[in-house]
Chain A
Amino acid sequence: MRNRFAETFYEIAKRDDRQCMIVADISPAGSMAKFRDEYPRRFVNTGVAEQVMIGLAAGMSQRGLRPFAYTIATFALYRPFEMIRDDLCYQNLPVTVVGIGGGVSYSTLGATHHAQEDVAIAMSVPNLRVLAPTDPLEVEAMTRWCATQEDGPVYLRLGKAGEPDLTADLEEPWKFGKVRTLRRGSSHCIVTYGVITKLALAVAQALESRGCSTSVVTVPTLRPLDRTGLIDILSSHSSVSVVEECVSRALGIEVEAMAHRAGLAGKVSKFSLKDEFIHCYGAHDEILAAHGLTVERILAELLEIV
C-alpha cells in the first residue's frame, strides 16, 4: 500500500504543482524519494516534529496548495491530534493525513507504534472523512480522490507493504462513501475494511465450505458511513459480523447501533482488537492472533450463530 500510495502521488504531483508532501522523519519509500529528488521544494521533512507537520499543511492549504501529511499512523494522528482537530477539521481544510501502518501492522514495534484506536478516534471528529483501503488498487483510487477533492480533511489509513490486490475483479470502481461487495452470498455477511479483509475472506471461504453462503463487504469509507448500503446488508442477510483491526468502538459498534435502530438488533456479532495494550511482538498475523483475530476463532464463534 505504501508504495502504491507513493507511486500514485508522484504521478498526480508531476502534473499538479499544488500537490505537496509533508513528512515527519519517515523514510521516503518507493516513488516518494523520486518526488523528493525531482521536486524538493514541494517535499518538506519537518523532522521528528509532527505538530508542525500538521500546522504547516494547514497553512499551505489555506494558501491554495494541496498537502499530504505523511508518517506512521500513531505519529500522524495521535501526537498532533489537536492540530488535526483544530487546524484541519475545525477550519475544514483539504489536507490528507496519511497514517502508515494503521492497526497493528508494525507488529514487532510494540504498542507505541500500534494505531489500534485510530479509526475509532478519527470517526469521531467533525469534518474528518476516514478512508481505509482494502488493497493497493483502492489506495490508488483514494489517493487520486484525496488529491483532487476540495471539501475538507481526510484521514487515509494505510497498511504497510505486501498487501494483495483483492478488488481487481469488481465491476464497479471504488466510490467515496460506498461499501463494496467482494463476494456475494445469501446467509451471512462479513463486513470489514483495510488489511484484515484478507482474513475475512478466508473466514468466508471456510464458512462456505461448511454450507453457509457468505458475503464479504468492505467499508473503505468509514466516515461518512454508507448507511443505505449497510442497512441493505443487514436486511438481506440472516446474520452479519464485523471484523476490524481496531478497538471495539469503531465500525462494529456503528453497525450494531444501525441494526438496533432499524429493528434488526441481535443480528450483529463483532470481532475487533482487544480494548487493551498487549505486550507481544511478532508477525502481523501473530499480533492479530494475540488479539483473538484468527480465522479459527472467528469461524468457531460464527458457526455457533449461522
Chain B
Amino acid sequence: MPRRLSTDSPTPNPEERCRAYRRRILEISQQVTALHIAPAFSCTEIVDVVMNEFMSEAEPQDVFLMSKGHGCMILYVILAERGILSVDDLVDYCTPRGRLGAHPDFGVPGIAASTGSLGHGLSIAAGQAYAERLKGSTVRVFCVVSDGELQEGSTWEAVMTASNLALANLVVIVDNNDFSGLERMSTGHPAMYPITEKFAAFGWSVSECDGHDHQKLRRALGAADGRRPHVVVASTVKGRGVSYMENENLWHYRSPNAAEFRQALTELGNPQP
C-alpha cells in the first residue's frame, strides 16, 4: 500500500477545495473499505466552512465536535490538511498501526469527543460550551449533528438544557440529508418535521440553508444572535458530489470498486486515479 495519498494542495477556492476533500476520502476507500463515504459527503461543505472559515485559530481555539461520528472522514482529511493529523494517519486509517477509526476517538489530535453512538455529542458540546463560559473564555463550540440523531431523546435533553443555560457560544449544524441508516427520514418518520420550528420552540435562534452552498452556509452560521444557542438546519444530499451515490443509501457504508472509483474521480474533476 502506498504511503501517500493524492497531493491535492489546499486551495482558496472552496468548491474546488471540497472536491479535493471528496477525492481524498475516495482514495482512502481504495485502501480500506471500512468507511462511511456518503455521510461524509453530505456534510463536506458544512465542516469546510466551519473549520476553515469560522473557527478561530488564535488561542484559545474554538472547538469542533462531530456528533455524527460516522461523518468523521471529512474531519480527518481537513485535520490532515492542516497538519493536525498527518498523511500517514490517513494512510493508516482503520489499521492496527494507525489511530483513526471509522468513528472519532477523543485523545487523537483535533478530536473533541469520542462519538459514533448517536445522541451523545450535543450534550458533550453543551458541557464544553458551558465550561468555557464559566472560565470566561470566548471559545465557541461548533457541533455537527445528523438528522437521524434528532430521533434520540438525549439530543432533545441537550437542546433543552443548552437553551436553559443560554449557551450563546454553542452553534449546532444539522446535516439534514434526509436519510438514516435504513430509510428516508421524511417518509419513514414524518412526525420529525418541521425541524427548525422545534429548535425555535425550545428557545434557540435558528437558520435554514442549502448545506452545500458556501455563501449560504456563511450567512446562516453568522446569523447567531449572541444571546442563545444557534442552530443551522442545513439541507444536504447524502453522497453529494458523485452522481451514483447521491440519495442512494447503499453508499452509507459501501466503498466503490475500481471502475466506480474512476468514475467518481472523473465527476469530481480529476480523471487521474
Chain A residues in contact with chain B, CB under 8 A?
20, 41-42, 44, 46-47, 49, 51-52, 54-65, 67, 82-83, 86-87, 90-91
Kindly list chain A residues whose C-beta atoms are within 8 Å of the C-beta of B122: 55
Residue B153 is within 8 A (CB to CB) of chain A in the complex: yes
Q: Are B124 and A63 in contact (CB under 8 A)?
A: no
The B186-211 residues at the A interface (CB cut-off 8 A) are none
The B232-270 residues at the A interface (CB cut-off 8 A) are none
Which 7 pairs show the lowest CB-CB distances between chains A and B?
A59-B127, A55-B123, A63-B131, A52-B157, A51-B154, A56-B127, A59-B128
Q: Are A44 and B130 in contact (CB under 8 A)?
A: yes
Kindly list chain B residues whose C-beta atoms are within 8 Å of the C-beta of A87: 113-114, 120, 123-124
Q: Are A52 and B113 in contact (CB under 8 A)?
A: no
Q: Are A86 and B157 in contact (CB under 8 A)?
A: no
Kindly list chain A residues whose C-beta atoms are within 8 Å of the C-beta of B129: 59
Q: Are A64 and B120 in contact (CB under 8 A)?
A: no
Residue B135 is within 8 A (CB to CB) of chain A in the complex: yes
Q: Select A51's contact among B127, B135, B157, beta carbons within 8 Å.
A: B157
Chain B residues in contact with chain A, CB under 8 A?
106-107, 112-114, 117, 119-120, 122-132, 134-135, 153-154, 157-158, 160-161, 164-165
What is the distance, in angstroms, from A67's C-beta to the closest C-beta of chain B? 8
Q: Are B161 and A59 in contact (CB under 8 A)?
A: no
What is the distance, in angstroms, from B29's C-beta to the closest C-beta of chain A? 26
Q: Given the interface contacts A46-B157, A82-B117, does A55 sit within 8 Å of B124 by beta carbon?
A: yes
Q: Given the interface contacts A55-B123, A87-B120, A91-B114, does A60 sit within 8 Å of B154 by beta carbon?
A: no
- Given contacts A51-B119, A51-B153, A63-B132, list 9 more A-B pairs with CB under 8 A: A52-B161, A56-B127, A56-B158, A62-B113, A64-B131, A86-B114, A86-B117, A87-B120, A91-B114
In this complex, what residue of A is CB-closest to B117? A86
In this complex, what residue of A is CB-closest to B60? A63
Q: Are A41 and B134 in contact (CB under 8 A)?
A: yes
What is the distance, in angstroms, from B178's C-beta to the closest C-beta of chain A? 25
Q: Select B158's contact among A41, A42, A52, A57, beta carbons within 8 Å.
A: A52
Q: Select A83's contact among B112, B123, B135, beta carbons within 8 Å.
A: B123
Q: Are B124 and A58 in contact (CB under 8 A)?
A: yes
Q: Are A62 and B158 in contact (CB under 8 A)?
A: no
Q: Are B127 and A60 in contact (CB under 8 A)?
A: yes
What is the distance, in angstroms, from B167's C-beta to the closest C-beta of chain A? 10
Kindly list chain B residues whose C-beta atoms are within 8 Å of the C-beta of A91: 106-107, 113-114
Q: Are A52 and B165 in contact (CB under 8 A)?
A: no
Identify whether the interface residues of A are mostly helix, strand, loop, or mixed: helix
Q: Given the interface contacts A46-B157, A46-B161, A52-B161, does A60 sit within 8 Å of B130 by beta carbon?
A: yes
Q: Are A63 and B157 in contact (CB under 8 A)?
A: no
Q: Are A62 and B120 in contact (CB under 8 A)?
A: no
Q: Given the interface contacts A49-B160, A91-B114, does A64 sit within 8 Å of B128 by beta carbon?
A: no
In this complex, what residue of A is CB-closest to B137? A63
Q: Are A63 and B135 in contact (CB under 8 A)?
A: yes
9 CB-based A-B contacts, threshold 8 Å: A47-B160, A55-B154, A56-B126, A58-B124, A62-B113, A63-B135, A83-B120, A83-B154, A91-B113
Q: Are B128 and A60 in contact (CB under 8 A)?
A: yes
Task: Give the docked Cα–Cα distance between A8 and B44 (Å).
Answer: 49
Task: Give the docked Cα–Cα distance between A83 and B154 (Å).
Answer: 10
What is the distance, in angstroms, from B33's C-beta to the closest C-beta of chain A? 25
Q: Are B134 and A56 in contact (CB under 8 A)?
A: no
Q: Are B154 and A58 in contact (CB under 8 A)?
A: no
Task: Give the docked Cα–Cα distance between A90 and B113 (Å).
Answer: 10
Kindly list chain B residues whose C-beta atoms are within 8 Å of the C-beta of A63: 127-128, 131-132, 135
Task: Give the docked Cα–Cα distance between A46 and B117 (Å).
Answer: 21
Kindly list chain B residues whose C-beta atoms are within 8 Å of the C-beta of A61: 127
In this complex, what residue of A is CB-closest to B119? A51
Kindly list chain A residues whose C-beta atoms are within 8 Å of the C-beta of B131: 59-60, 62-65
Q: Select B165's contact among A44, A64, A65, A67, beta carbons within 8 Å.
A: A44
What is the distance, in angstroms, from B255's C-beta to the closest C-beta of chain A? 26
In the complex, which of the residues A20, A57, A62 has the most CB atoms of chain B within 10 Å of its own CB atom? Answer: A62
Kindly list chain B residues whose C-beta atoms are within 8 Å of the C-beta of A51: 119, 123, 153-154, 157
Task: Give the docked Cα–Cα distance between A91 and B165 (Å).
Answer: 24
Q: Are B130 and A86 in contact (CB under 8 A)?
A: no
In the complex, which of the residues A44, A51, A52, A58 has the most CB atoms of chain B within 10 Å of its own CB atom? Answer: A52
Q: Are A62 and B134 in contact (CB under 8 A)?
A: no
What is the distance, in angstroms, from B48's C-beta to the closest C-beta of chain A? 24
Kindly list chain B residues whose C-beta atoms are within 8 Å of the C-beta of A41: 134
Task: Give the docked Cα–Cα distance between A261 and B134 (Å).
Answer: 51
